[in-house]
Structure formats: structure tokens, C-alpha cells
Structure 1
Amino acid sequence: MESSSKIPLSYSLWSPHDTVKDAAESLSINLPEEAAKNLAMDVEYRIHEILETAIKFMRHSKRKLLMTSDISNALKVLNIEPLYGYDNSQPLVFKEALVGAGGQTLYYIDDNEIELEKLINQELPKVPRQTTFTAHWLAIEGVQPMVAQNPLPAEIKSLPPIIRGATSSILGNDILSLGQNGENKDSAQGSAATKDKKATEKQSEVKPLVKHVLSKELKLYFDKVVEVLISTDPEKENLKVAALNSLKNDPGLHQLVPYFIQFVAEQITNQLRNIDILSTMLEVISALADNKTIFLDPYVHALMPCILTLLLAKRIGPVIRETSSKESQDTLKTQLAVREFAAFLLEHIIKVYGSSYSTLRPRVTRTLLRALLDSTKPVGTHYGALLGLKNMGTEVVKLVLIGNLKVWCKSVVENSDKTDFEKDILLNESLEILDSLKVELPQDEESMDTDSGFSEEIKNKLKDRIGDTLADLVLQHRDAKDIVRGLFFGEVVV
């Protein structure tokens, strides 16, 4: 019974349980032998538990050295009051002393003594700064601005192409495929190729064509949209509508804007005989202009030549030899519809971006007037010039067009070899422009004027202002009085 009830001894520092008894005696506690042994084993169990938890923290920290922070974290996890006064940055210095008559060695930690007066007179630490937040532009329209928060271009160029996001090199090689193929080659061949490449780079310096690199997704998007836009397959008409809606509404297309504008310019230059392609290109310009997430101000100078080309070009679409047949007349009307669309886009661009470019409106007006007064131009050019001047506003019509109508009508309409169908188109458009200037009187004043005719003086002034042909058309118009009143506003009483 005595052997079975004998409490096994501990195998740790507390194995001679005299340490427990010494600690109890220092606190003036008389501890029995069995209680001291049980307490020693419980302390050993607690120490093992703390060490196992601390080792877990050490292994999860990818370390092989157990630190005091691991012990502190283990104490927190086990809900034990942590130790105070120990820091990893300050190594523990142990000193030894002889205790008792037998000269037993005792090791202890030497605590630094701090003078109270020195601590009081010491300067207070600086108050930490308040947390603040600042904002800066990481990129504007795909271009990184030169600010202190962004890395320098030299630092970006020093990085490998794959890290900085490039998928193709300057010479057009696919970096990703090159990297995959290079892994399968021998190391000797790789080192030789690297040496040859460095020697080539030293001899010749290749400058990139663009400042930014498109992602694979944007490249795929651009290729698919371009393929659909120039397709003549009727089955892809729905895809074309979807592509135009995407250009009109989707955000994040700012990097592709110069590529789309270049694509439109190339198509207009090379496909002037294809009415469908020209109409599609105008729809692309309209979609880009309507997209509120795209900043088009830097590209207005590239858009204006495209629009003015379709507005004032000598020939767009198939060549028309004569306009006597119904088919040729319909073809001419189709071409003029494209010019009307171009005139509408011209008006939109000038209204939106005219304030940013102060010289845009006068330059375009000068170009339109020069094309209008050139008697060698075909009917399409004159029609487009009239549409453009009309959409520039009533001020431009009064100051620029009205003063030149008489000369234009005499040289282009009366003394030209144009057919009657073409002359009727130009005269009707001129009459519509004049109709836009009409001034209507209130109903009470108009009812008092019962005389619907014009005096000879007013007729002569009208013919002197716009020419005989246009004057006769105006006098036959149902709103002749309002038109004449708008032409001579403030000069004569009608």
C-alpha cells in the first residue's frame, strides 16, 4: 500500500521538492511533505503547457529560437497574468553570488538602478503626430504623373518587364512565352543569349512607340471591336450595335482612345468609297464623344480632320456620273446623309470643346467658307459647307454666310455646269438656312398688318443682299415676311 500510494517524483527543476518548501518557508508557510510534492508536479505540468504553447508560436513564426515574446503570447492565450519587465531588445545579464556558509552559488538578474531626480528632470518624449490621410493621382488617363508619391520612371524601367506588368517587349516579342520557353533551354544557351542581347542593346538603342503597355484584356477587346466594326456580314449587325454601345457606356477605355482614333482615321482615309464603313466610323466618334468617362480634350485635334473630311470631301461613296436616274439620285442622297451626320458631330464637338480651344470655331468657319466659295468643288462639298455653317449658329450665318450668299449663288448655282437636281438641293438647303433666321411678330401686331406684299424697295434690297435666284425663292415662301424681317432686322420695317 505504501509503495502504491507513493507519489512519484518530478523530473524537472522541481524534482527535489525542496524548492517548493523553501518558497513556502520564505512566505512563513509550513507546507507538508505530500502537499509540496503535489504542488511541484502541478507546477511542472503548468510549465510544460506554457512551453508547448510557446513552441507553437515559435514554429508559426518560422523561427528556431524560442523568444520571450513567445512565452508572453502563450501566457496570454492560457489566460495567465503575463510577466513584466522583460524585453527582447535588452539581453538578460545574470550575476552570481555566494550564499550561506557552504558557499552555494546563486544566480540573479542585475536590475539597473535609476535615480529619481534624473528621471524627473529628463525631457518628456515627443507627442506622436496625429494620423492624417493624403490623396494623390496614381495615374491620369493611363499616364503616371510625376509626383513624390509615385516611383520615378528610371526605377520602373529598372524592374523586369513581367514585374512592371508588360506582356510584350519593345520589339514585339511576347515576354511570357519567351520566359516559358527559356525555362526549357540549357543554362549555357541562356547565358550566351543574355550576353548577345546585352551586346546588341549597347550597340543600338530602341525607343518605344508608346509610353504605356496595354494589357492582354484591352488588346483582345480592341481586336474584337475592330473586327466587328469593319465586318460586312449582316449576321454581325447585332454585334456591331453591341460594340458601339460598349464604346458609349463602358468605363476604363481611356487607354484605347488614341488607338480607336487612329483606326477611324485610317478607315476614313482608305475607305472613302464605302458608305457603310464611313457611317460606322462616324458612329464610333459619336460613341466616344458620348462616353462620360473618357477625356477627349487631348484628341480633338485628331478628330476634326476625320469629321471635316467626310463633310467637305469631293467624293465619298461610289462615283456618280449623272443624276438623271432614280438610282443615282438615291445614291447621292445617301452620300449627303453621311455629310449631315458629320455636320451634326461637328456641331457637337464645337459646343462641347469650343471653350477649351479658343481658335477652334474661327478656324473651322474659315475652312467651311473657303470650301463654300470654291466653284470647282462638287455639290457634296458645297452641301457639307452649308450644313457646317448652319450648325455653327445664327451669329456665324449672319456675319459670314449672308454676306457671301450672292457671290456664291451666282458662281456656284447660276454659272455652273451642275444639274438641276443638284442645284435644287443647294437652293433648298440655302432656303432652310434663311428660314432659321426668321423673326416672328406677336399675333396682335401681325393681325394689324393686312398687306402681305413687299414694296419694290424691299425687293431690290433683298436681291442685292442674297441674289436674284434666292430672292425669288424667299418671296415665294409662306414665311417670306418673317425671313425678310430676320435678314433686315433693324434696317427696314416689314
Structure 2
Amino acid sequence: MDTHVTIDIRASYLTTCIVLRRIVLTSIDQSFERINVSGFQMPVQFSVESIDYLADKFNNCGSLSDESLSYLTRQATSLISILLQDACKVLRKCRRNSLTAEDFAFALKLHQLEPMYGGYTISNHHRSSFQKLKKDNRNVYYIDDQVIPLDQLIQSHLKVPLDISLRVHWLAVNGKQPEVIENPTVDISVRSIPKKRFTKSSHILSTEQQIYFKNLTETCISSNESKRKQALAILSSDHSLQAILSRLILFISEGIRVNLSPQAPTDRSIFLNLLIQMSDGLLQNEELNLKAYLHYFFPAVLSCLLARRTSHDHWSLRDLAGKCSGKIIRKYATAANDLQQRTINVFYRILNSNEEEYTWPTRYGAFVGLCEMNSKVIIQLIFPLVKRLGERIRLISDVESSERLTEVIVKFLTMAYRSIDNKIESNEKKLYEQFGSYFAPLIQQQLILLL
């Protein structure tokens, strides 16, 4: 980013505050008190045109550059998303179903941000409105208080005063009140709202469902290939699995955890492959919704993808786990849960780590996980790392790891490069500048084979 853009972004900090406050006040004033949390969905991003309009309206420094507007758009989207999530937390703590401006005010206070002025809250009897006052060539906005006629105030009845309350108790003995049944202690604690107790109940399956679950799981991990294929086909197509979905997810996650532990047998790749195939079958089933079980399901898949060397043949396990990871991201990642960005941060940190911190099989899994998301991730994140990765792969002493890494990197880079450049006969100099001397000839060879 050049110096002009940096100064432009810093100079537009006040614009960011004004724009965000305008968005918040407008949204709160119109419909925040009517929003139902269960049906609320945060848009992926505010449009650049809306931010540009508000910046031109409230900023006296002139128009902003495209990079500054893009920066302000990302900041506005991120800040509003975080504030709405915290406001929903306040809402759930208060045991309510509708989001109000007071919840949003608590979220602003939690992040030490300036509160909203003039917002409509439950405690207000009417909507407050700003009044404009011009003073010393400056526009000052204030809230006009409700005007109460003096005669109405004089003629109004006085409030009934609090009555005096007396309580009979035993005399104190040596300065202390005796604790006996006839002399109960005065409860001076604040009246607390009684807690609603929920009875714990387990999800009980019928006898038929238990038999179905037992036969299905045993067949999925059996050695009979034909029956196993039939069981995997059931996982990918049967819509009645929703009743036993929680048990299936628990079976997969616990099976992966046990087989990845140090106490597990030496050769664990076969059983882990079968469990990941079950995961892939569940992801292919369009009738099932795994969103409620991602906190069990997704870590188990990532464990197979990023674990240290589990057995001699672990590359196919990482490839299949990477495909499952990409399907989960594409299907369940939203702007609210930020699942894709958090997963990208984990993978990117592993690829940029030192030699001693992570093994090359783990880096292989991180690379496959990034590439299986989409080609945009490859172009924006992998392309800048290819040169340095090539120089590091040259120095790997393990021949198998070096060959596997080279093969998978060339495969995904060729697909991504072809999607952005349809000219197969791209000049050799451009390939060498972008991918380095290690990967450029291999990618060029693959592009020629695709002719």
C-alpha cells in the first residue's frame, strides 16, 4: 500500500466512526426492537456504494480512494457483525426473544465504544429526536426533552409515600441477635428472579433405531467391501438418518480420537480411512443438517488432516480429510460463525511455520485443506508462498514427503493458474517469476499436457 493510501486511511478514521454510527442509529431506530434472533442473518458485506455515499455525506475531506473505501467496508462489516453477536448474547442472558437497542448499547459498552445518543429504548415513552442548533458556525445536535406544562404539574396528585413497616424480633443478647426458630433472620438480599430449571433427558432411540445404528456402523467399518459400499450409499442418501445423526457423529469423532491417541495400534490408517469415508457420506447427504454437530465433527476431520504421521500410508487419509474439510467450509461457513477465516488462519500459520514446529506431512494436510476450499484461496494465499515452498522442498531429506508435496502442489497450482489464464502457451518468464525455478517447469509441463 503506498503512502497516499496509508494517509488516506488514517485520515478517514473519523469517517469510519461517523459511518458506523449512522448505520447503527438508522438500523436501531427502524427495526432492531422487532428483530427475532433465530431469523436474523448478517449480510456477507456492506456494499462499497453505501459506504461511499455516507463518506461523501459526512466527510468534509473530499472523496476517498477505492482502497480506503474497501478498507472501511470491511471494518464496518466486521464491527457490526461482532456487535450484533454480543448483543445477541445479552439477549439470551435476559431470556428474551426480541433484540432491542439496549442490548446493542450493552454491546457497545462491552467494547468500550461511544454509546448511541437518541436511540429508542424500552425505558423511553417516545422516540427521541435530534434537534439542530447552529452555534459558532458549527452544527450542534441535541435531544429535545419532553415539555411538561406547569399547570399540569401543579394540578397533578402527589405520589403516595411509602408506609412505615415494623417488625417484631427478640432483643439482642450481648449485641447479637439469637438465632432461634422464633427469631428468623431478616432477608436483606435483593429479590432474585427464580431460576427456571430444565430437566435433563437423554435422546432415547427405539429398539429398531438401535438395531439400525448398530448394523450400519458395523457394516461401514467391516472388511466386506460390497456391504461397506452399500452402507456408505445409505449414509449419503437416506433422509431418515436425522434421528440417529448425533450418535453417528459421536461414533466418528470418538473413533478418530481413540485411533489418533498414542496408545492406539501402530497401523491405524485403515480404520481412520473408513471413518473419514463415513464423514464424506454424511456430507453428501443433502437431507441432513450437520450444523448443530460441527463442534464435534469438524475437529475430528481436521485431526486426520493435520495429525503427525499416523502410519506408513497416511497420504490418502489426508486427501480425503481435505475434501471433507472443503465441503464443510463451502456448506456451513457464514459471515456470522467466521468458520472459513478461522480455518484459513490455522492452515496458513502451519505453512509459514519453522521447520521444527510442524512436520512435512502436517504441512501437506494444511496445503490440501487450503486448496480444497476454492480457487480464490489458492490465488490469493498460495501463489505468494510457492517460491519459498519450492526452495524449502528442495532441502527435504525424506524423498516420499518431497514427491508427495511436489505432486499435490503442482496439481492444484496448474488448475488454479489455468482458471485465470486460458493461454496455455504462457511465456516461460512469467511462470518462473511467479512460481520460481522449482515449480515453474513442472507446471509448464502440466499445462502442455492439457492441450
TM-score, normalization: structure 1? Answer: 0.44
**TM-score (norm: length of structure 2):** 0.48
Higher relative contact order (CA 8 A, sep 6+): 2
